Structure 1
Amino acid sequence: MAAADAKALIRAEAARLGFDAVGFTRASLPTEMRARLDAFLAAGRHGTMRWLAERAAQRAHPQALWPEAVSVIALGLSYAPARDPMETLARREVGTISVYARGRDYHDVVKGRLKQLGQFLHARFGADLKVFVDTAPVMEKPLAAQAGIGWQGKHTNLVSRRHGSWLFLGEIYTTLDLPPDPPHPDRCGSCRRCLDICPTDAFPAPYQLDATRCISYLTIEHDGPIPEGLRAAIGNRIYGCDDCLAVCPWNRFATAAREAKLHAREELNAPRLADLARLDDAAFRALFAGSPIKRSGRGRFVRNVLIAIGNSGDPALRPIAQDLAQDPDPVVAEAARWAAMRLAPETVP
């Protein structure tokens, strides 16, 4: 079969499975990608995400991860929200959860679809393959940009003309020799909205991210106390941050995600801080079953909730913080003491 016909069949099957974007590229990346990764790591901008450094060679060179790979099929699944994800930021009695974490765990949803597409590839073409969703050393955004799905914006995330900043990415490395699609040109122009909106100034320059200042890193990946100098800027963001994504002008072309499993659970659109702070481990696991939030663990999540309580300016929440000041988790207890102090009568306007 001609390679062009094979690509058309793969595109059609990907669409049938519900993928919103598909592109093809070689299983290689330009040397500048490794240079950018090395500079990021050398500057310590990865924080405690040690796995980025430990497998940097495989991340920068797809064939270092799997030497037999010839082509990469990059796929995107839209998770565009049906409502403004920033609408709760002014409601300090509730928490703001990143859009991606309000529904089912995208790892499970996307990987299931990738495996189905992989079965099609193997049955139809006899191809060997490996599938990846954000859990292996794969440079997903550069590969997706190289495959023509979109481009890496100034916020370093992928931007699509059709789906804005709201695409989950997955990859299939395969032994199939498929002609690459042309890469997508950068269409950010002079826009700086994503850079200027960042509450913690996590972008040292356009197209550069200092993860150690990023609210998503601090509330999801960082497992110790959050630096005090950044706590006030976090506001009521209790899991991730969508500010730089949400203000992208290209989002005006995005429509709400089709996949029902990725739709927000109503109870996670504006959860009350008082209720979340009282979660013990069993209640935390029950509330977030099937959610990516469950991976963070109760301690890290309640730490975030207490930061939001400390930022609420509501003295009625102070007793909750005081109760948690003796929590067995020392990180929770420290955040609780900080929140209680912030809400002391002499400090609350």
Structure 2
Amino acid sequence: MDLVALERSRLIRQEALRLGFDEVGFASATELKEDAAFLKEWLNRGYHAGMDYMSRNFEKRTNPQKLIEDAKSVVVVLQNYFPPKKEGLKSGLKLAKYAYGRDYHKVLKKRLKQLMTYIQSEISDEANGRFFVDSAPVLERSLAVRAGLGWRGKNSNLIHPRIGSFVFIGEIILNIELPSGEPIREACGGCTRCIEACPTGALVSPYRLDANRCISYLTIENKNEIPDHFREQMNEWFFGCDICQDVCPWNWKARPHKESDFVLRSEFQQMTRDEWSQLDENTFDEISRGSPIRRAGYQGLKRNLNFILGQ
């Protein structure tokens, strides 16, 4: 890799950190062949449940060059969202940490747009590409691994050795050359805490998640009723689930984020079980404005609460 590309990556990294991202890496935009084989097997087993979109645009999903014309490199950024230990819902109900504050898509996209503008104005006027945050057929975790930002843990999440796994991933696919990072060796070792802790058995084996059994899928993406046999296994999770991350030793020493947008909303924190139980559509619209919980919608969230609270 020439010195120009190395200097470009240094400047891009510097600007990304200045904008507030917690880590930055670079990957080649070539086909992800091993990941394509893994994805095909996962889909064939039906582990994607009702997420039919995962089976669409297979070539684009596994090859950035099919998504962006003349793609050569990918800038991958991580944003820590691990909250302070003291944060939690007084009701005792459980909400995935990524949904504590503002929708991460909005936060990361704003910064990625600023980073893209910087690249085009300060790095190369020939630079062209697109940025994504969980919004296109992109294997984000695979690109993060290729960029040297961590490894795929047995819970199927990206694990960064310093930040842990409570991270959002964003990327910019570009038509300019940048040096690709060195992959980090997987460091889960013989640990199987995540597999053992999953109450529904969704982690059927290391690295393989069956979404049909996953609390996160059942409470967010799932459009149907939650099967009754999961009633005693939900552990009060009404939107998403963090169990397989909470038990991971790599998160035990993770530092809390410093992002005001990800702080637990006071409404979520203060609401009683009765208030959650009696949640109406107008109140939902008020408390969910700009929040990830809107993904489930009022009916979906009400279904989850009724299921957990036995109503």
Give the TM-score taking structure 1 as reference length: 0.85
Structure 1 residue 148: Cα displacement: 0.6
Secondary structure of the corresponding residue to residue 172 of structure 1? strand
Does 1 or 2 have the higher relative contact order (CA < 8 Å, sep 6+)?
2
Q: Is the 8 A contact 2:25 2:144 kept in 1?
A: yes
Secondary structure of the corresponding residue to residue 303 of structure 1? helix
2-side partners of 1:237 and 1:118: how far apart? Answer: 37
Structure 1 residue 270: Cα displacement: 6.3
Tell me whether 1:118 sits opposite 2:116 in the alignment: yes
Q: Is the 8 A contact 1:95 1:305 kept in 2?
A: no
Aligned to 2:214: 214
Secondary structure of the corresponding residue to residue 201 of structure 1? coil
Aligned to 2:148: 148
Equivalent position to 1:57, from 53, 56, 59 = 59
Tell me whether 1:3 sits opposite 2:16 in the alignment: no
Secondary structure of the corresponding residue to residue 238 of structure 1? strand
- Return closer, same or farther for 1:60/1:166 CA change in 2, 3 Å cut-off: same
Aligned to 1:202: 202
Identity over aligned pairs, percent? 40
1-side partners of 2:213 and 2:106: how far apart? Answer: 29
My pick for the range that moved more, 219-228 or 53-62, is 53-62
CA deviation profile, 1:157-200 (whole Å, cap 9, x unmatched): 00011111111000000011011111111011111111111010
- Return closer, same or farther for 1:177/1:29 CA change in 2, 3 Å cut-off: same
The list of structure 1 runs, each at least 4 consecutive aligned residues, that deviate by more than 6 angstroms after superposition, is none
Structure 1 residue 271: Cα displacement: 3.7
1-side partners of 2:21 and 2:141: how far apart? Answer: 16
Secondary structure of the corresponding residue to residue 2 of structure 1? helix
Aligned to 1:317: none
2-side partners of 1:18 and 1:58: how far apart? Answer: 29
Structure 1 residue 266: Cα displacement: 3.0
Residues 87-106 of structure 1 mapped to structure 2, 5 A cutoff: 94-106=92-104
CA deviation profile, 1:288-324 (whole Å, cap 9, x unmatched): 11101012210000111111112xxxxxxxxxxxxxx
Tell me whether 1:242 sits opposite 2:242 in the alignment: yes
RMSD (Å) for aligned C-alpha atoms: 1.5
2-side partners of 1:23 and 1:57: how far apart? Answer: 23
Size of the aligned set, in residue pairs, is 307
Structure 1 residue 84: Cα displacement: 6.5
Aligned to 1:136: 136
Tell me whether 1:27 sits opposite 2:29 in the alignment: yes
Tell me whether 1:309 sits opposite 2:306 in the alignment: no
Give ranges in structure 2 of 5+ residues lacking alignment.
none
CA deviation profile, 1:25-69 (whole Å, cap 9, x unmatched): 101243121111111111111111111112222111111112321
2-side partners of 1:28 and 1:237: how far apart? Answer: 39
Aligned to 1:184: 184
- Return closer, same or farther for 1:186/1:202 CA change in 2, 3 Å cut-off: same
2-side partners of 1:295 and 1:115: how far apart? Answer: 23
My pick for the range that moved more, 100-109 or 270-279, is 270-279
1-side partners of 2:106 and 2:98: how far apart? Answer: 13
Give the TM-score taking structure 2 as reference length: 0.95
Secondary structure of the corresponding residue to residue 304 of structure 1? helix
Residues 313-324 of structure 1 mapped to structure 2, 5 A cutoff: none
